[in-house]
Amino acid sequence: MGRHGPVQVSKLLVTKGSSVATIPPGATVADAVAELREHRIGALVVSSDHKHIEGIVSERDVVRALTDRAGALLEDPVSSIMSSKVTTCSPDDEVESLMSTMTHMRFRHVPVVRDGVLCGIVSIGDVVKHRIVELEKDRNELVDYINAR
């Protein structure tokens, strides 16, 4: 939390934007891999309409499925490997709480939902980056305070 008080997820979205890469459940795993590479991201929200979450598919899902299905996996639909139970957060949730959830549940990506509609996604990298910026501000304030004396 720091000396700046609780920070909401919406602040992270202001910094990173609300764009979310989605893929329909019927797209192939090969399509998903291409999208992950093109956008240089670790997960795609599975959605038929870009608004409602049907699942999430990550690089880890692809790697785990490869051990079972090898090359044939690439032609399978994304829905066959996605996680259908998706933990989400609200833009009004506190980043500190989200960081705790992501750490304890071992999630790297959490979609942000407002009124049942997808409005962003937060990665563990976004949370860590925000925390580093916050700590740097605290450090600078302390240095300024010490130098002012």
What's the CATH number where 33 sits? 3.10.580.10
Q: How many distinct structural domains can be found in the chain?
A: 1
Note whether residue 3 is domain-resident: no
53 and 118 Cβ atoms separated by less than 8 Å: yes
> pTM of the prediction?
0.78
Note whether residue 1 is domain-resident: no
Which domain, by its residues, includes 117? 9-148
Q: Residue 113's pLDDT is what? A: 96
- Pick from 106, 126, 118: which is nearest to 46 by CA? 118
The arithmetic mean of pLDDT across residues 18-25, rounded, is 94
Q: What is the pLDDT of residues 86-132, one digit of tens each?
A: 999 999 999 999 999 999 999 899 999 999 999 999 999 999 888 88
Query: d(Cα 98, Cα 49) in Å, to the nearest integer?
Result: 26
H-type alpha helices, the chain: 9-16, 29-39, 59-69, 95-105, 124-148
Note whether residue 121 is domain-resident: yes
Note whether residue 45 is domain-resident: yes
Query: d(Cα 75, Cα 62) in Å, to the nearest integer?
Result: 12
Q: Which residues contact 138 (CB under 8 A, 6 or more apart)?
A: 2, 3, 4
Note whether residue 104 is domain-resident: yes
